[in-house]
Homo-oligomer: A and B are copies of this chain.
Amino acid sequence: MRENAKEPGRHAQRMAAKQKVIQARIARADKEQGLLLVLTGPGKGKSSSGFGMAARALGHGMKVGVVQFIKGAFSTGEDAFFRDLPNVDYHVMGEGYTWDTQDRERDVKAAEAAWDVARRMLSDDSYHLVLLDELNIALRHDYLDLDTVLDDLQARPAMQHAIVTGRYAPKALIELADTVTEMKVVKHAFKDQGVKAQKGIEL
């Protein structure tokens, strides 16, 4: 977890707004609502869990939006599997994203372009679920403005679910979230035994 958002006033405002939303929800009999889920921690399974939830939502006939914030450089199994399904709108952050070359300006630009796609999904109630895969990593590197991200998440349609994955979830995001799971490493084949990461299994 990280330090809080930079503007305490804006944070307090957001928390007050959230409190109101929660009270309104509690007042409703059925309590149905779109949830903000955060999957974080060092253990395996964060992205997989997000994609499993996306699969479940698709199984219920829901429309799903996916934005991947760090995996643009290489093809993953999710990409191959989800990209061409009906009911899925799949966006991988462009090749401008250059962890390797340390071109920070280019990285920020790519992250912001990806967030524009995310924001469009978060403003469109035809999406029942929006998966923001590895968003926490982009936030960790300050490639995106945390307050902007939190505001956009909070402003999403009332029934829309959002899932954010990645290590190092910022504290302010955890506060805003409805459900947070931390993946803890109990044992790790790759680190403990020097086993090569496996095609089809690596997270």
B44 touches A200 (CB 8 A): no
B80 touches A59 (CB 8 A): yes
With contacts A76-B56, A77-B58 known, is A180 near B187, CB below 8 A? yes
A183 touches B180 (CB 8 A): no
Closest to A189 in B: B178
A198 touches B52 (CB 8 A): no
Quick check: is A196 within 8 A (CB to CB) of the other chain? Answer: yes
With contacts A47-B52, A59-B80, A78-B52 known, is A32 near B196, CB below 8 A? yes
Q: How far is the CA of A73 from the CA of B177 in the complex (A)?
A: 31
Contact of A187 among B22, B51, B178 (CB under 8 A): B178
**A190 CB contacts on chain B under 8 angstroms:** 179
**A188 CB contacts on chain B under 8 angstroms:** 179-180
**A178 CB contacts on chain B under 8 angstroms:** 187, 189, 193, 195
Quick check: is A60 within 8 A (CB to CB) of the other chain? Answer: yes
A130 to chain B, nearest CB (A): 12
Closest to A43 in B: B181
